[in-house]
Structure 1
Amino acid sequence: MDLGIRGRRAIVCASSKGLGRACAMALAEAGCDVVVNGRNTEVLARTAAEIRERFGVTVEEVAADVSTPEGQKALLTACPAPDILVNNNGGPPLKDFRQLDRAAMLEGVAQNMVTPIELIQAVIDGMAERGFGRIVNITSLSVYQPIPGLDLSSGARAGLTAFLAGVARTVAGKNVTINNVLPGKFDTDRIRKTIVFAAEKSGVSETEQAERTANEIPAGRLGRPEEFGQACAFLCSQNSGYITGQNLVLDGGLFNSAF
């Protein structure tokens, strides 16, 4: 399917690896020029080189922490007028909520709520003026279904979801959409850490816990990052202009709900 976004400019935060990388790959495959971002310069450079080689699009590398004002400035300097913004950021580490002090909680909220809002503030009016904008926020299935140890991440991402629900309606008439993609259990470094955390709590091996995790999912497996990236790219497409303020759950049927 032609997504109708060839030549568009996209910023994809935290895209050197994992789900962010998959989104950058899918957007590049659709013909977008992309700004990729990460903290590890070597990993970031490998991702950028692969995107250039495979898809022949323009790729800008921004090695920075997107949660900092300096990191955000660097992203917007690389692409001052993006057509597409994919918000993504690493979440707080797995930790029992009793161990969270005020500083840790404020940092978690800054990472997973304040940072994406700040970036949206910076780009949304320009998108509206140009008559095209697609904003996708990578949040988590834990917004709907709590995951022990990820309480801070879940709370911050739920706050982002509620905050943007009203904002999305204010720009829909300008062909600017804001949606959230809620990953379940995808085969990434983060889910592997979750498996290790659960194995330690349950007193079983990592292999056994990984099997348990897969068996809990109706699809019988972890998700592939490529599947996630293609769903994100569709929400960024010309064809998705009538979808806004929505939460797309990608979880292999794990979240058991009719609505």
Structure 2
Amino acid sequence: MDLGISGRTAIVCASSRGLGRACALALAKEGCRVVINGRDAAALDETASEISRLSGSDVVGVAADVSTHEGQNALLAAAPAADILINNNGGPPRRDFRELDREAVLKGVTANMVTPIELIQRVIDGMVERRFGRIVNITSASVKMPLTGLDLSSGARAGLTAFLAGVAREVAAYNVTINNVLPGMFDTDRLRSGFPAEAKLLGVTAEEVAERRRSHVPAKRFGDPDEFGRLCAFLSSAHAGYITGQNVLIDGGNFPAAF
């Protein structure tokens, strides 16, 4: 299927690896000019070159912390008329809520709620004027099913979801959509980085921890980041103009709900 977005400009935050990279690659393969972002300049350059090679599209890397105004300015300078914005940012590390002080809470809320709102504020009027805009926020399945130790991440992302629910309806008539994608367990470096510590705590191997996690998913596997990227690309497409204000769960059936 031709998604109808060839020639569009996309910003993908936190996209040097993981799910952000998968979204950037999927959009680039659809012919978008893609601006990717990360803090590690070397890793970012490598990713930009790889995505460009695989897609044949123009890929620009902006090394910056998107949670800062300076980082946002740099990102938007590379794409002053963005048609597509993929909001993504690393969540706070797993931590007992009793250990969170005010500074930690504010940092988590800034990264996972305030930052995407600020970026949306800066791109949305241009999208409305051009009568095309696609905004996809990568949140988490924990918005629907909170996980112990990830209370701050869940709370900040849930706040973003609630904040944008009304905004999505406000701009829908201008062919501008805002949706959230809620990933479950995907086979990324971030997921696997937590296995060794859990394995040590349980007295098992990291692979045994991985197998236990996989066994809890009805699909009996972790998600492939490319699957996530393709979903992101479809929600960014010309065919998704009637989908807005939605939370799209992609977790292999892990969240037990009828609706």
- Taking structure 1 as the reference length, what is the TM-score of the superposition? 0.98
Is the counterpart of residue 60 in structure 1 residue 51 in structure 2? no
Q: Give how far 1:7 is off.
A: 0.2
Match of 1:166 in 2: 166
- Report the counterpart of residue 245 of structure 2 in structure 1: 245
Task: Show the 5 A alignment for 1:132-171.
Answer: 132-171=132-171
Output the CA distance in 1 between the equivalents of 2:33 and 2:51. Answer: 10
- Percent of paired sites with the same residue: 68
Over aligned residues, Cα RMSD in angstroms?
A: 1.0
Q: Does 1:257 align with 2:247?
A: no
Q: For residue 244 of structure 2, what is the amino acid of its counterpart?
A: T
Amino acid at match of 1:151: D
> Can you give the 5+ residue segments of structure 2 that lack an aligned partner in the other structure?
none
Output one character per residue of 1:109-133: Cα deviation in whole Å (capped at 9) or x when no partner. 0000000000000000100000000
Match of 1:82 in 2: 82
Aligned equivalents of 1:33 and 1:144: distance in 2?
33
Matched, 1:208 2:208: yes
Aligned to 1:108: 108
Quote the residue 1:24 is aligned against. 24
Deviation per CA, 1:38-60, whole angstroms, max 9, x where unpaired?
01111101110011112121111
C-alpha deviation, 1:187, in angstroms: 0.6
Q: Structure 2 CA distance, aligned partners of 1:207 and 1:60? A: 36
2 CA distance for matches of 1:121 and 1:197? 39
CA contact (8 A) 1:37 1:64 kept: yes
Give the SS at the match of 1:4.
Answer: coil
Specify whether residues 228 and 235 from structure 1 end up closer, same or farther in structure 2 by C-alpha distance, changes over 3 A only: same
* Runs of 5+ consecutive residues of structure 1 not aligned to the other structure: none
C-alpha distance in structure 2 between counterparts of 1:196 and 1:165, whole Å: 38
Q: How far 1:200 moved relative to its partner?
A: 4.6
Q: Match of 2:154, SS?
A: helix
Provide, for residues 202-252 of structure 1, a one-character-per-residue CA deviation record: whole Å limited to 9, x for no partner. Answer: 443322111100000011110010000000000000000000000000000
Contact 1:184 1:252 (C-alpha < 8 Å) held by counterparts:
yes
Which residues in structure 2 correspond to 1:225-236 (within 5 Å)? 225-236=225-236
In the alignment, the residues of structure 2 paired with residue 202 and residue 167 of structure 1 have an alpha-carbon distance, to the nearest angstrom, of 45
Contact 1:27–1:233 (8 Å) recurs in 2: yes
Distance across 2 between alignment mates of 1:15 and 1:28? 12
Asked if residue 42 in structure 1 is aligned to residue 30 in structure 2, the reply is: no
- More divergent stretch after superposition (47-56 vs 2-11): 47-56
Moved more, 222-231 or 93-102: 93-102
**Displacement, 1:197?**
4.7
C-alpha distance in 1 between matches for 2:97 and 2:205: 24
State the shift of 1:196 in Å: 3.9
Mapping for residues 169-188 of structure 1, pairs under 5 Å:
169-188=169-188
Provide, for residues 95-146 of structure 1, a one-character-per-residue CA deviation record: whole Å limited to 9, x for no partner. Answer: 1111111100000000000000000000001000000000000000000111
- What is the distance in 2 between the residues matched to 1:189 and 1:241? 33
